[in-house]
Amino acid sequence: RQEGRQEGRQEGRQEGRRMGEALVLRRLLIRRFGPLPEWAELRIQQAPPERLEAWAERLLDAESLSAVFET
């Protein structure tokens, strides 16, 4: 039972981190490019934390919204 609680806490922390990174990325993208289209919102919602971090870094040099999300 203790092990299950530990796993639950870990998953909660990971999801909280992902949600926080998504929120910051979304705010920065809106500030730079204006309202986000649905496709960008969906990609942000579905992305793992590592991808969100990569997009946030790419945001600094990207000349367009689509350039942020290029793979």
**What integer pLDDT is reported at residue 24 of this predicted model?**
95
Name the pTM for this structure.
Answer: 0.79
Residue 28 has, within 13 A of its CA and on its CB side, a CA count of 19
By the 10 Å C-beta count (0-12 exposed, 13-18 middle, 19+ buried), 5 is classed as exposed
pLDDT digits (tens, 9 = 90+) for 56-65: 999 999 999 9
CA distance 56 to 68: 8
When the pLDDT of each residue in the chain is averaged and rounded to a whole number, the result is 89
CA distance 50 to 58: 13
**What integer pLDDT is reported at residue 64 of this predicted model?**
96
